[in-house]
Amino acid sequence: MKRVAFKMKLKPGFKAEYIKRHNEIWPEIAELIKRSGISDYSIFLDEETNILFGVQKVSGEVSSQGLGSETIQQKWWDYMSDIMEVNTDNSPVSIPLEEVFYLA
Set 3, 19, 20, 22: catalytic member: 22
Q: Is 56 exposed, middle or buried, given 0-12, 13-18 or 19+ CB atoms closer than 10 A?
A: buried
What is the residue extent of each domain of the chain? 2-96
58: phi then psi, degrees, rounded to nearest 5: -130, 120
Question: Is the pTM value of this prediction over 0.75?
Answer: yes
Q: What pLDDT is recorded for position 65? A: 75
pLDDT at residue 94 tops 80: yes
The class that CATH gives domain 2-96 is: alpha beta
Q: Is 22 a catalytic residue?
A: yes
The mean pLDDT of 73-96, rounded to a whole number, is: 97
